[in-house]
Amino acid sequence: MKKIALKKWRRTVVELFGVTAGVIFTALGLNLFLIPNKIAAGGVSGIATILHYLIGVPVGSTMLVLNIPLFALGFYRLGLKFGFRSIYGIVCLSLIIDLLAPYLPVPTRDLLLASIFGGVLVGLGLGIVFRYRGTTGGTDLAAAVLRTYTGANVGQLLFMVDGAVVVLAGFSFHSWELAMYALITIFVSAWLVDLVLAGISYTKAFLVISEQVTEIARAVLYELDRGATILKGRGMYTGLDRDILLVIVNRNEVIQLKELIYQKDPHAFVVLADVHEVLGEGFKQYYLER
């Protein structure tokens, strides 16, 4: 029991460090690039940026105040499913933004550079927070709550909420150019979040349809030293049952596998796709501490 408790404690500490690191990256993106250039890239941070320039309130404190009713409503509608890491992420981000703001320079006033680099840092930070099972509140929490009322897709709701904030920023700052730069930031940060969560593709998946599937599979096993799986399929045009070979390889093995396939069957039909993450024998292992 002590060993299990120690593992859980260690995992909790690692997750909190991860959430903290992600929050710092997010705060840097906001303080260095977005807030000084009036780029309100959606979410609670975007609303807080608008209010900062309209009435002079600190961005971090405003984010915390805005997140409190959201979190309370989330607790009422969803239960405490977001947990301690969510509360920690919300409070930590708000505090760090206000603590760092007076000491950080503004690296650029170029709106394009600010929107791109701000999006990169915010996306990287949020991706790390999500990877360590945390959240910073804001629109993801708002979208989850709205879904309980509307039943709409969370992704669509996120886009609608962020879009509304961007439109509000355009009116508030009397600049649709700033709103368009904010959209760039949203797309860049969303791409970075996906990249952090899914990873860079270093592996490829081959689906091979051939009359020589058994011979190709044997070559994969003994010449390439990779595993292979034979799936059952049926051609819609012919109505005939066909074997489909599934093989996952590293990027540097792609050419070798192509040569093996077409040596065995020059007429093989091959589908090659990116795979962002592979867990299991021969690839990365996932260790779950219980």
The predicted-structure confidence for 7-23, as pLDDT tens digits, reads as follows 778 877 888 899 899 99
**Is the separation of the CB atoms in 264 and 232 below 8 Å?**
no
| SS3 state at 249 | strand
Residues 247, 177 within the same domain: no
The predicted-structure confidence for 106-155, as pLDDT tens digits, reads as follows 999 999 999 999 999 998 998 888 888 777 877 666 666 666 666 555 55
Residues 118, 245 within the same domain: no
Residues 219, 174 within the same domain: no
Which residues span the domain enclosing 31? 2-198
Residues 25, 118 within the same domain: yes
- The C-alpha atoms of residue 83 and residue 111 are separated, in whole angstroms, by 37
- The C-alpha atoms of residue 240 and residue 58 are separated, in whole angstroms, by 68
Asked if the structure places residue 96 within a domain, the reply is yes
Residue 257 clears pLDDT 80, i.e. is over it: yes
Asked if the structure places residue 63 within a domain, the reply is yes
Reference 105, options 206, 28, 5, 208; nearest CA is: 28
CATH number of the domain to which 230 belongs? 3.30.70.120
Map 24-60 to HEC letters. HHHHHHHHHHHCCCCCCCCHHHHHHHHHHHHHCCCHH
Give the CA distances from residue 287 to residues 39, 72, 179, 275, in Å, rounded to whole numbers and listed in that order.
Answer: 40, 34, 43, 20
Work out the average pLDDT over 202-212: 88
Reference 30, options 21, 20, 40; nearest CA is: 40
Residues 182, 214 within the same domain: no
Residues 186, 210 within the same domain: no
Residues 41, 119 within the same domain: yes
Q: Into how many domains does the chain fold?
A: 2
Residues 229, 191 within the same domain: no
Residue 56 clears pLDDT 50, i.e. is over it: yes
Domain boundary, last residue among 198, 227, 245: 198
Domain boundary, last residue among 147, 181, 198: 198
- Would you say the C-alpha torsion 138, 68, 97, 36 has a positive or negative sign? positive
How high is the pLDDT of residue 239? 82
Give the CA distances from residue 45 to residues 8, 22, 224, in Å, rounded to whole numbers and listed in that order.
Answer: 32, 15, 51
Domain boundary, last residue among 143, 163, 198: 198
Residues 121, 171 within the same domain: yes
* Buried residues in 87-115 as b, exposed as e (16+ CB within 10 A): bbbbbbbbbbbbebbeeeeeeeeebeebb
Asked if the structure places residue 208 within a domain, the reply is yes
- The C-alpha atoms of residue 149 and residue 142 are separated, in whole angstroms, by 11
The count of other CB atoms within 10 Å of the CB of residue 157 is 20
Residues 153, 228 within the same domain: no
